[in-house]
Structure 1
Amino acid sequence: MKSVELFAGAGGLAMGVSLAGFESLAVVEWDKWACDTIRENQRRGFPVVREWPLWEGDVRNFDWASIPEGIELLAGGPPCQPFSLAGKHRAFGDKRDMFPATVEAVRKLRPKSFIVENVKGLTRSSFANYYQYILLQLEFPEVVRKDRDSWLEHMKRLQAEKTSGALHLSGLTYNVVPTLVTAADFGIPQKRERVFIVGFRSDLGIKWSFPRTTHSLDALLYSQWVTGEYWERHGISSKSRPALPAKLKGKVRKLADMLFPLTEHPWRTVRDALVDIPDPRQCNDLDFLNHSFQGGAKVYPGHTGSPLDLPAKTLKAGDHGVPGGENMMVLENGDVRYFTARESARLQTFPDGYVFHGSWSEIMRQLGNAVPVALGRRVAASVAEQLAESELHKLARSRGRNVA
């Protein structure tokens, strides 16, 4: 199955797509540092990215004629700053809004499916109309905005097309499923909330829903405060364990009284993710790549760092490097320090052998913008499964057989 990755950044979603079995025909990214990261790993022969056809430049200048129509997957995370809670919230008025370019790629490539990832801020009430506008454009990519149209006028035309149902009979349309996802619910050691917009070409007749969650906070609390398995696994004695927060006592009592065991796995914590990685102050960067200590971490209002025994707060990338508390960890003695680039990569589920290019702040920007590799793989694998089943049904029908 063939894929194209847009706005690839350091390669998180693209790597997940590759690990799900897709072959990349183009990996498109404009940022030099992110491209240097991919090129450095290609030079080192890192297996997942070694054969990627990387194209450095503005996605709007890419030659779509070089890619055959009807590829299986188009994937990408358009720049999130126009919708980020930490950004300027300009949406359509922000020149970094790349959703129009994404829709154009869908229109020209006519992929069987697409995966679009973006920040939770896209679903804010202040963006409600524009969010619906994005979804309508992805559903009806052939209804092109006219030069004289404002985006609101274009949205009205899209709404009219949806009401008429005419395009669903003959034109290029997609069944679009948007989902707000917490990465920790899928085994990522980070409370990262993101929107995934997944679409399948309507003519394929595919009915899809987002993969079921596999991990939960309840399961983590159960392993910590009911069975104690979490602390035992990490070799933490009863005397060294933190006190159960008062606000959780009632919840833990209910968990202890359950008649049936929890079926989900515990949320993965910072301690889980970093269990075998040494303190950066006691090793050198040759032992663990991108694991140099970065000083200067401070606590200030609203930025208190990530506790060891919960998933990390969302890693972020700011205009001037790293915006403080989200990218710090709280040590057992209450002190704080910045996550190293390698520790942050662990929290984003990048392999330890994957090298990042640039200064610490530049690497953290790449990581803060990335899709967790394991989450990208989970979503892409679910899409691949549906596409494969669709092909099997098509083959069976052509042979006059029924497939259960």
Structure 2
Amino acid sequence: MNTPGTQAHHLDGVRILDLFAGPGGLDVAAHFLGFKSIGIEWDQNACETRYAAGLPTIHADVSVMREKRFHEIPTSVDVLAGGPPCQSFSVAGNGVGRRALDTVEEFIHRLVEGEDEAKIDEELHALGDPRTALVLEPLRWLLKAIETEGRDPYKTIVLEQVPAVLPLWEVYARLLRGGEGRLRGVKYEAECWELKTEEFGVPQTRTRAVLVARRPGDGAIKPLEPTHLPFDLHRGKRNAVQTDMLPTESEIPEREQWLSMAEALDAASRLKDSSVDVSRLRTRGDLTFFVVSNYGSGGDPKNRGRRLSSEPAFTVTGKVSRNKVYTDDAAYKADRYDRFTIPEAGVLQTFPHNFPWSGNDQAQQVGNAVPPRLGMHVLGRALRGDAPSDEELAAAGTWPSVPRTTTEELRLLGCGDQSQCSPESHKVTRPLRKPAP
């Protein structure tokens, strides 16, 4: 395994290109599986976290990198990965992407068929939320590699998004299997799934749409095998008839119980030099608490959901720091609450307890990331054909120390001298919000 802090040549042996890399969920997963990655990320705060963690990074806009700086991507890269921003497709977003799924599917076909990309971009921007167009970027990067002399098609592609995007991943999969148009006969084995994070040992309920594609030769892509039981989101709200219709644990292939918040946080707090201290949440020695969500449920913003410490967390979002944590009902009645710290929120996402969160908007960084443990299962299946070992998963609880010199070198690599990036690198080709009137 390569230790980030000891790499003299940061781009040597890089295999994975992580588009929209964020603070490094997929990169952390790759590291613990023994693969080296480089990420493209335009948010300076997420880049600072990546530099501190020793993760090779290019601080730039993904579209600009593809259009103007594609030659800077190491030729050793043979895996394309990414999770395009999901707000326009997410249930928590304004839903523009969900309403535009059919339109975006049409754009996917038009790209492969070779229509003028400038016209496609113009029409995409008219959809209402410019981030919707970002779901096309992985396809554009693949086409760029195929059409660039001296480059080979990526051997493996791994994409993830919110469940609403699964129909688009299925379109991707069909096109990748066919190899028509601008794909120039380049074909892939491709499969997509909807995965529940708690079924892979992540102590939160979160569902992701995942696509895995790889060039023929390694056999069919087998589905990921869950390691843990699913969590019933509707517990306590079912009548007897509904409950009888659910499969019993004996009817589900042998798996471990889902991991609870208390188990994950307690285990992290016991690691050497742990950044997690949950003593404030202990009552008579037991780690018992409950969390009241920042979001309403059942369509009622005042109806805040509640999770016990013996259950998985709610989906960790960028608003995780707004969730209220109570030690007991007395504290709830008196409105005496606590908040999860950034290291604790990171652990609920399965980042190492000592991951060096840096920069501003750290809660947003945590919430935007792919859970590394889920990433280990997906990348393990895509790149090796198997699940991460118990030893690899155990090692993933602690991040290796990264010397300050490595952080400074990576900042120079990603941002240029004294963090002065080329202005063109940060030309955001799609405005994030409408300007004020």
Contact kept, 8 Å, 1:181 with 1:196, in 2: the verdict is yes
- Whether 1:122 and 2:165 are equivalent positions in the alignment is yes
Contact kept, 8 Å, 2:88 with 2:96, in 1: the verdict is yes
- Whether 1:331 and 2:369 are equivalent positions in the alignment is no
For 1:259 and 1:375, how far apart are their aligned partners in 2? 25
- Whether 1:15 and 2:11 are equivalent positions in the alignment is no
1:43-82 equivalences in 2 (<5 Å): 50=54, 52-62=55-65, 63-67=69-73, 71-82=77-88
Q: Which residue does the alignment assign to 1:106?
A: 142
- Whether 1:271 and 2:262 are equivalent positions in the alignment is yes
Distance 1:309 1:330, change over 3 A: farther
For 1:100 and 1:65, how far apart are their aligned partners in 2? 20
User: What value does the CA root-mean-square deviation take over the aligned residues?
Assistant: 3.7
Distance 1:196 1:358, change over 3 A: same
* Number of residue-to-residue matches in the alignment: 305
Contact kept, 8 Å, 1:11 with 1:38, in 2: the verdict is yes
Greater RCO, 1 or 2 (C-alpha within 8 Å, sep 6+): 2
- Counterpart of 1:103, as a letter, is L
TM-score w.r.t. length of structure 1: 0.65
- Counterpart of 1:55, as a letter, is I
- Whether 1:181 and 2:177 are equivalent positions in the alignment is no
For 1:350 and 1:74, how far apart are their aligned partners in 2? 22
Q: Which residue does the alignment assign to 1:313?
A: 314
- Counterpart of 1:38, as a letter, is R
For 1:6 and 1:258, how far apart are their aligned partners in 2? 39
1:170-209 equivalences in 2 (<5 Å): 171-202=185-216, 204=217, 206-209=219-222
- Which has the larger displacement, 347-356 or 377-386? 377-386
Q: Which residue does the alignment assign to 2:428?
A: none
- Unpaired runs of 5+ residues, structure 1, are 42-49, 145-166, 221-243, 283-295, 388-404
Distance 1:373 1:205, change over 3 A: closer
Deviation at 1:264, TM superposition (A): 0.8
Q: Deviations over 1:66-103 (max 9, x none)?
A: 34557432111111112111112223433213122211
Contact kept, 8 Å, 1:31 with 1:56, in 2: the verdict is yes
- Whether 1:95 and 2:130 are equivalent positions in the alignment is yes
- Unpaired runs of 5+ residues, structure 2, are 1-12, 98-103, 105-126, 146-152, 270-275, 282-292, 387-437
Deviation at 1:211, TM superposition (A): 1.9
Deviation at 1:173, TM superposition (A): 2.0
For 2:237 and 2:39, how far apart are their aligned partners in 1? 49
Deviation at 1:378, TM superposition (A): 1.6
Distance 1:346 1:250, change over 3 A: farther
Contact kept, 8 Å, 2:213 with 2:382, in 1: the verdict is no
**The residue matched to 1:274 in structure 2 has which SS?**
helix
Deviation at 1:32, TM superposition (A): 0.8
Distance 1:106 1:309, change over 3 A: same
Deviation at 1:274, TM superposition (A): 1.5
**The residue matched to 1:181 in structure 2 has which SS?**
strand
For 2:165 and 2:309, how far apart are their aligned partners in 1? 29
Deviation at 1:273, TM superposition (A): 1.3
For 2:16 and 2:321, how far apart are their aligned partners in 1? 36
Instruction: Point out 4+ residue stretches in structure 1 off by more than 6 angstroms.
Output: 248-255, 257-262, 296-299
Q: Deviations over 1:196-242 (max 9, x none)?
A: 1111124x353112320000048x9xxxxxxxxxxxxxxxxxxxxxx
**The residue matched to 1:304 in structure 2 has which SS?**
strand
For 1:310 and 1:301, how far apart are their aligned partners in 2? 22
Distance 1:104 1:329, change over 3 A: same
1:243-392 equivalences in 2 (<5 Å): 263-275=254-266, 276=269, 277-279=276-278, 301-317=302-318, 322=319, 327-333=323-329, 335=332, 336-359=337-360, 362-386=361-385
Distance 1:370 1:265, change over 3 A: same
Q: Deviations over 1:268-327 (max 9, x none)?
A: 011111123434869xxxxxxxxxxxxx9798624334321111110112xxxx2787x4
- Counterpart of 1:207, as a letter, is A
- Counterpart of 2:135, as a letter, is F
Contact kept, 8 Å, 1:83 with 1:122, in 2: the verdict is yes
- Whether 1:29 and 2:41 are equivalent positions in the alignment is yes
For 1:208 and 1:301, how far apart are their aligned partners in 2? 44
1:158-237 equivalences in 2 (<5 Å): 171-202=185-216, 204=217, 206-217=219-230
- Counterpart of 2:328, as a letter, is E
Contact kept, 8 Å, 1:115 with 1:196, in 2: the verdict is yes
TM-score w.r.t. length of structure 2: 0.60
Distance 1:133 1:261, change over 3 A: closer
Contact kept, 8 Å, 2:343 with 2:353, in 1: the verdict is yes
Deviation at 1:193, TM superposition (A): 0.5
Overall identity of the aligned pairs, in %: 27
